[in-house]
Structure 1
């Protein structure tokens, strides 16, 4: 299978970066093809401008958007790896969705309503946050984030959400705790995406 990983963390020494490396390694061990789009390294512009909108209405996709859409088009599986900031996606990743998952590419509409244009693909998310998981579970935040990402992004365009790892208590664990999280990532990835 062809995997596209969209990665959104600015610090190459972060846990998110270790999660990225673990995910890539696990997928390659299973024989999958992997492409990583590191949004900070790419200096991806997250702002969907009036100029973008005008160009797209005229049928001219801006080059940076077109590049990312080609990666999405080629992928069987799309994975987002990111830290939760203010109960949602970092701005650079939200802007990626705003600009790349655009009308006419990821979805359209007709007399029946929304037409999902990315059916046949799978989606997976790994997100980190400082709050312990059980607290987010109790107050409904985990389910709220799952709805806005898995259903609100992937589901809206026809991508089948096959999993979402919510990794909590980041910043408060010891070394063994972080190793356990990386082991969980490795195991989950291999279970979801067995040998190609």
Structure 2
């Protein structure tokens, strides 16, 4: 299976980097894996007027075209990023804004929205500083998954097969990381 990992965290020493590296090690050998480290790529997250006008006519910038070709290649996309201010980091949001463009990821047919990436599986792996209980008590856990899973990925026709949220990430222990690794193994190997 062709796996595309889209990763957003500025630190190579972060828990997110550990997750990305563990997942890459787990998948390599049995699968083809491509990694898009948005910070390492210095991906421009700003949707410009030129981007916006080009989307309607099917004209995209070269960096966007490269990402779209990789998405076309992939059978499963994994998005790894922390939850900051109750959402994804700006670079990941900008990636979505620019790459999941009209005519590539979705379009409208006779006034109805049509997702164009229906043959893709998606896994989302997030880290967050707060406890799961804190997010659940406020409803933020549902808001976060609703926004990404339904508002972005399912909107584009994708099948979200799993959304893992690793809480208290700033206090992660080796044992908790092993549990997360086991959960990832169940998702990808199961």
With over 3 angstroms needed to count, the CA separation of the structure-2 counterparts of 1:169 and 1:11, relative to structure 1, is same
Which of residues 180, 183, 190 in structure 2 aligns to 1:185? Answer: 180
Aligned pairs for 1:1-196 (under 5 A) are 1-28=1-28, 31-111=30-110, 113-173=112-172, 177=173, 179-194=174-189
Task: Provide runs of 4+ in structure 1 moved above 4 Å.
Answer: none
Conservation of the 8 A alpha-carbon contact between 1:56 and 1:62: no
CA RMSD of aligned residues (A): 1.4
Ranges in structure 2 where 5+ consecutive residues have no aligned partner: none
Count of aligned pairs? 190
Deviations 1:152-175 (A, max 9, x none): 1111001100111111112234xx
For normalisation by structure 1, the TM-score amounts to 0.92
TM-score when normalising by structure 2: 0.95
Q: CA deviation at 1:112?
A: 5.4
Structure 1 gap ranges (5+): none
